[in-house]
Amino acid sequence: MDADPSSPAAPLGGEPTRTSLAEARWHAIDTVLLAFLTALAGGLRFAGITAPRAFVFDEFYAADACLYMLGPNGHCRTTTEISVVHPPLGKWLIGAGIRLFGFTPGGWRVVPLVAGTLSVAVLYLLARRLLGSTLAASVAAGLLAFDFLHFVMSRTAMLDVFVVLFGLLSFLCLLYDRDQSEANRPVCRNPSPHRLLARPWLLGAGIAGGAAVASKWSGGYLLAAVAVLAFANAAARRRDDAHRYRRVAREEGVQLLVALVLLPAVVYVLSYAGRLEGALLAWPWARGSWTHAFLTRQYLMFEHHTGSLFTHPYASPAWSWPFIKRPVLFYFQDLGGDGYQEILAFGNPLVWWTALLALAATTWRALRRRRVQAPETVVVAGFAAGYVPWLIVTRQEAFLYYLLPAVPFLYLALARVVAGISARNIRAITIGALVVASIGMFSFFRPVLVGSPLPYREWERRMFFMDCGPAVSDAHKAPVMRPMPPPAGWCWV
């Protein structure tokens, strides 16, 4: 019997059924909503994509992307690579846009825009598969479409949006593999490596996870979560076996190792093709060999990410990111007496703080149920992979936008809770409130998300927290434009 596409996910107090979750059938309304939300996200992000006609925050590294595609004579404003602190896949992708549209703001922003738009579509598919609810999928994808931080990062030539896209794809492929493996257990329990070809979704999870790492090292946290969940899913299929972990290692260990360790490593190494000079056939430790150049690059990256960094006025501790204590200034122009132009990277406070409550409820339920295949477990694992490592890493310079890969899982938690409300009237009121909070706040804050000119008083209305220390003048506050420690208080200026 087909599930009603409008039916909610299982209530938080009850056990979800296979029909209400992974096996809920896809309906025509899903296709319509997926297309609508994807087009909506793309349209929101595309409008005014060429403004401002200047580098925004770290966009000056787009010169590296230009260099990748056009070479040192391609009018890229540089003849050598400016930054080597991140892997090259994201630069290749940004460079593809520059190749098509030139070294212009639109050229270096178009591929991140596409990646951000596609990540909304992938989140819909992920929520639909994980929660088995058209309503939950629409809530999660719709919230991401209007999310402030995701919106800004999708319109900026930086690497984080690629981590989001490839990380979500890896989780989606994991879910498809999990359901396929449930239906085809003999393939999974055959230790022969060639059986891996019968698990294309597991291979897809590895490729996407490798692409996330090849975009930015923080993608490795998401890949690690996928690998742990894949192993745990395999053990759950043998829940009646007292030696299930040993059997997983014997029967599926090679498949998991190849798909989620070796294959991502291959993707990562291939991303350096054409970017390092050296002889492929030389001894790896010999100077002048490609392998030596590759390992040297990894060491330089590691040294950068673990060394002491300069003080940045918009850095903030990881614990404060979900609470939006210190947004990140991406662009600022003082228009004299006419006001300011600003792009600020931060989250929607009403939606984020509501989602944190939903995440707490989801985490409690995941801990109470202790089932790796439960939707709550996947949601919590994804959020933890995107956020918790930053609570542990002792790095002096970190920014709120590092939270971006965890944001889709925050919305999955909120969608799970909202769609699980059994009382239809309360559920409708809750969804209506979320729509108003999401669209209304987006409309109000859009000028400081896209850099529209604002009179000072209108700009000041959007700075909810201004515990920033002394004002620049007696009359006006303004963003800090020089290296200095971040303010101790809650400061959006």
- 3-state SS, one letter per residue, for 443-490: HHHCHHHHCCCECHHHHHHCCCCECCCCCCCCCCCCCCCCCCCCCCCC
Average pLDDT over residues 242-271: 91
Crossing angle for the helix pair 134-145 and 105-131, to the nearest 10 degrees: 160
The token pair that represents 412 in the structure block: 């999955």
Average pLDDT over residues 329-357: 95
Among the residue ranges 42-46, 266-270, 277-281, 457-461, the one predicted with the least confidence is: 277-281
CA distance 412 to 406: 10
- What is the pLDDT at residue 195? 74
**Residue 189: is its pLDDT beyond 70?**
no
Identity of the highest mean pLDDT range in 168-177, 296-305, 365-374, 484-493: 168-177
**Residue 14: is its pLDDT beyond 70?**
no
User: Confidence class of residue 17 from pLDDT cuts 50, 70 and 90?
Assistant: very low
Q: Which DSSP helix (H) or strand (E) runs through 345? A: strand 340-345
In the chain, what are the domain boundaries?
A: 28-461
**Residue 445: is its pLDDT beyond 80?**
yes
CA distance 141 to 411: 8
Nearest to 386 by CA among 315, 486, 326, 318: 318
Nearest to 179 by CA among 387, 26, 308, 34: 26
Q: In residues, how long is the chain?
A: 493
Q: What is the pLDDT of residues 145-159, one digit of tens each?
A: 999 999 999 999 999
